[in-house]
Amino acid sequence: MFYFIYKRLIQSVFVMLAVAFLAFSLFRFVGDPITQMTGVETSVVDQERLREELGLNDPFISQFGRFTVDMLQGDFGYSFRTRQPVAEMIASRIPATLELGVVALLISLVVGIPAGVYTALRPRGVITQTILITTLIGISIPTFVIGIMLIFLFGVQLGWLPTFGRGETVNIGFWESSFFSIDGWRALILPAVTLGVYQLTLTMRLVRAQMMDVMRSDYIRFATARGVPMRQLYFRHALANTMVPVITIIGLQFGGVIAFSIVTESVFQWPGMGLLFLESIRFVDIPVMGVYLVVIAFFFVVVNLLVDLLYVAIDPRLRV
Amino acid sequence: MKEFIKRSEGLWLFTRSPAVMIAAVIAILIFIGAAFAPWIASVNPYDLGSFSLMDGLLPPIWQEGGISQFMLGTDDQGRDMISSILYGARLSLLIGLSAMAIATVLGVGLGLAAGFYGGRFDAIIMRIADIQLALPAILTALLIDGIARGILPPEVQQDLRVVVLTLAIALSLWVNFARTARASTFVEMNKEYVQAAIIMGQGPIRIMFIHILPNILGPLLVIMTVDLASAILLEATLSFLGIGLAADSPSLGTLIRIGMQFMLSGEWWILWIPTLFLVALVVSINTLGDFMRDVFNPGLR
C-alpha cells in the first residue's frame, strides 16, 4: 500500500512538472515578454539589455529550471495587466472559488446520492419518473442559462436573493469567507445551485446505475433470502458497495466544478479565480493564465491523491 | 413505403417515439431556417442601414404594442428578433458543424491509426487523450482561444474570430472520437477480413479507411450527434462569456449576453427568445443522439 501511494506521488510530481512546462512555454512563446513590459519609446538597445538582464537569452532548459525554482518559492511573476504579483492576485481569489465549489459539490452529493438510491429502488414509481425527466431537462440546459433563469426568478421577480457578488465577507487571517454572515450565505445560494445542478444529475445517474447493478447481484439475492431486513440490506450491503465508483466521480467532478465555476462566476460576477482567468484571457495576460493552470493542476493532483487514499480507507480489499 | 419502414429497425423505432419525431422536426426546421436565413429573414442584422432605431424595443406581436412587421419584437437597435435569431443560429450551426467535422476527421484519423499500429504511437496518442480528458472541454477551448489571442497579430484577430473559435472547439472535442475509433479498431483488427487484407499486402491507408472505417461508423455517428450539441453549447457559452463572437456578428450566445442587459427593464423577449431557441436546438439534437445510441446499441434498450 505504501508502494502504491509512493508511486502515485511520483506520478503527481511529473504531472505538475508537465503543467509547469506548459505554463512556461505559454509565458515564453506566446507574445514577447519584452514588448509587453516596455513602452513604444524604449530603444532596441535598451530592449536587448533588458532581455540579457532578465536571462531571456539563456538556454531554454536553464530558463525553465529557474522558472520552476521560483514557482516552488512562491514567486509567480507579475501580471502584464495590473503589474501586481500574480501570486497575490490568485491567492486572494482562491477562497471565493473554493467555497463556491465545495458548496456546489455538497449540493450535488446531498441531493444526488439519495435521489439516485431512491430512483434505483423504485424504478417504476411516479416520483422516480418525475425526477428522471427533470434531470434530463437539467442536463440539456447550459449552465449559464440555468444561472440566468435563477437570477430572473429569485433575484428579479421574487427579489428574495442577491444576484451578484459575495455579499458580506469575514476575514479569517488571509481567508476571506462568506460562510460567517447571513448575507454571505444568501449570496452563495444561487451561484452554488447553478454550479451544482449539472454535477447533481451526474451523481444521481451514477449512483442509480451502480445501485441497480448491485441490487441484481447474487449476494443481495442471498441476503434477501436469508431474511436480512430491507433497511439494512439497502444501506449496509448495497450502498456500501456503490461507494467506490461514487468517490471516483467526486474526484472527476471536482474538475468539472472548477471549470464550470468560470461560467458561473461570470454570470454572477462572483470574484473568484474563474472570473480572473476570464479577464486574463480577454487582456491576453499570459502570466495569470499560466499560473491559473498550475494552481488548477495542483488542486487536481491533490484531490486525486485524496481519492486514492479514500479508496484504501473504504475498500478493505485494497489494503493488502 | 410501409414495407420499407418495417424492414428498417431504426425507422420503425422512429415512428414509434413521438418525442424523437418532435425533436427531429424542431432540429430540421432550425437547420433550414439557419441555412436559408438570408432569404427568409426580413432584414440583415449585420447591415446597419437595413433597420432603424425608430423601431427599437417593440414587443412581440401578441403583446400590446407589437406590430405584424416584427412578429417576435425588436431589440434596442430596432433589429427584428426573428432575423437576428436566424442569422445567429446560422453562425452557431456553422461553427458547431465545422468544429464537429474537424474533430471527427482528426479524432477518427488518429484513433484508427492508434488502433491499427498500436505500440508506441498508440501509447502517445492515448496519453495525450487521457490528459485532455481530465480537463473539461470548456477549459481547453478557453485556453486555446487565449493562446490564439496572444499569437495572432491584432489586425487579423477580428477577421479570424470564427476560425479561432471553431478550432478551439474542435481541438477540445476530438478525444471522444479518437477513443471510440481506437477501441472499435482493436476489435476489428482481430477479424478475418482485416487479417486477410494484411496478408494480401494491402497498404495501411487502404485497410484503415476502406476496410475498417465502414465497419466502425455506427458508434461514431452517435458521437457526432452528441458532439454537435456539445459544440453548439461550447460556442454559445464562449460567446456568452464574451470570449467568442463580438456583438457585431452575434451568434445565439452573443444574443443571450446582449439580452442580459434587458433582464431588469422588462423587455423580456430580447433575452428569453434566443435562450429558448438555443435550448430547443440543443435538447432536440441531444434527443436525436440518445435515439441513435439506442438504435446502434440494442443492448441498452
User: Is A60 exposed, middle or buried, given 0-12, 13-18 or 19+ CB atoms closer than 10 A?
Assistant: exposed
Higher confidence at residue B287 or residue A83? Answer: B287
Contact B145 A259 (CB under 8 A): no
User: What distance in Å separates residue A280's CA from the closest CA in chain B?
Assistant: 8
Residue B301: pLDDT above 50?
Answer: no
Asked if A80 and A233 touch (Cβ cutoff 8 Å), the reply is no
**Cα separation, B238 vs A304, whole angstroms:** 28
The DSSP annotation for B127-196 comes to HHHHHHHHS-HHHHHHHHHHHHHHHS-HHHHHHHHHHHHHHHHHHHHHHHHHHHHHHHHHHHHTSHHHHH
Which residues neighbour A22 within 8 Å (Cβ) at sequence distance 6 or greater?
A: A290, A293
pLDDT-derived band of residue B110, with 50, 70 and 90 as boundaries? very high
Residue B85: pLDDT above 80?
Answer: yes
The DSSP annotation for B71-110 comes to TT-B-TT--BHHHHHHHHHHHHHHHHHHHHHHHHHHHHHH
Contact residues, chain A, for B151 at CB < 8 Å: 30-31
**Cα separation, A267 vs B275, whole angstroms:** 14
Lowest mean pLDDT among A40-54, B62-76, B224-238, B247-261: B62-76
Which residues neighbour B231 within 8 Å (Cβ) at sequence distance 6 or greater?
A: B95, B96, B97, B99, B100, B103, B169, B170, B173
Half-sphere exposure of residue A89: CA atoms within 13 angstroms, side-chain side = 26
Give me the tens of pLDDT residue by residue for chain A, a chain 320 residues long: 677 778 878 888 888 888 888 888 877 777 666 666 666 677 778 777 777 777 777 777 777 888 788 878 777 777 777 778 888 888 888 888 888 888 998 888 888 888 888 888 887 888 888 888 888 777 778 888 888 888 888 877 787 877 777 777 777 767 777 777 777 777 788 888 888 888 888 888 888 888 888 778 787 788 888 877 877 777 777 777 777 777 777 777 777 788 788 889 988 888 888 888 888 888 878 888 888 888 888 888 888 788 777 777 777 776 65
What's the rounded mean pLDDT across residues B22-29? 88
Contact residues, chain B, for A81 at CB < 8 Å: none
Dihedral sign from CA coordinates of B282, B128, A11, A20: negative
User: Is A74 exposed, middle or buried, given 0-12, 13-18 or 19+ CB atoms closer than 10 A?
Assistant: exposed
ipTM reported for the complex surpasses 0.90: no
The predicted pLDDT at position B101 comes to 93
Contact residues, chain B, for A292 at CB < 8 Å: none
Contact A142 B278 (CB under 8 A): yes
Contact residues, chain A, for B283 at CB < 8 Å: 137, 140-141
Contact A141 B143 (CB under 8 A): no
Place of cell 437597435: B77
- Amino acid identity, position A3: Y
List residues of A whose CB lies inside 8 A of any B CB.
18, 26, 30-31, 137, 140-145, 148, 151-152, 156, 255-256, 258-260, 262-263, 266, 277-278, 280-282, 284, 286, 289, 293, 296, 300
Contact residues, chain B, for A253 at CB < 8 Å: none
Asked if B70 and B79 touch (Cβ cutoff 8 Å), the reply is no
**Cα separation, A69 vs A125, whole angstroms:** 60
Locate A44 and state its grid cell. 532596441
Contact B142 A263 (CB under 8 A): no
User: What distance in Å separates residue B27's CA from the closest CA in chain A?
Assistant: 15
Which residues on adjacent β-strands are paired with residue B80?
B74
**Cα separation, A136 vs B128, whole angstroms:** 31
pLDDT tens digits, B195-212: 888 888 888 888 888 888
Question: What backbone phi and psi angles, to 5 degrees, belong to A177?
Answer: -115, 145
Contact A137 B283 (CB under 8 A): yes
Residue B100: pLDDT above 90?
Answer: yes
CATH 1.25.10.10 for domain A87-318: no
What pTM, to 2 d.p., does this model score? 0.82
Locate A101 and state its grid cell. 465549489
With CA atoms as reference, the chain A residue closest to B265 would be: A156
Residue B48 DSSP one-character state: G
Closest to A233 (Cα-Cα) out of A247, A241, A223, A225: A223
Contact B282 A278 (CB under 8 A): no
Q: How many helices (H) and strands (E) does chain B have?
A: 14, 0
Residue B104: pLDDT above 90?
Answer: yes
pLDDT-derived band of residue B70, with 50, 70 and 90 as boundaries? low
With CA atoms as reference, the chain A residue closest to B232 would be: A142
Mapping DSSP to helix (H, G, I), strand (E, B) and coil, where does residue B241 land?
A: coil
Counted across chains A and B, CB pairs separated by less than 8 A come out at: 85
Every domain of chain A and the residues it spans: 2-72, 87-318
The predicted pLDDT at position A120 comes to 82
The predicted pLDDT at position A37 comes to 66
With CA atoms as reference, the chain A residue closest to B141 would be: A259
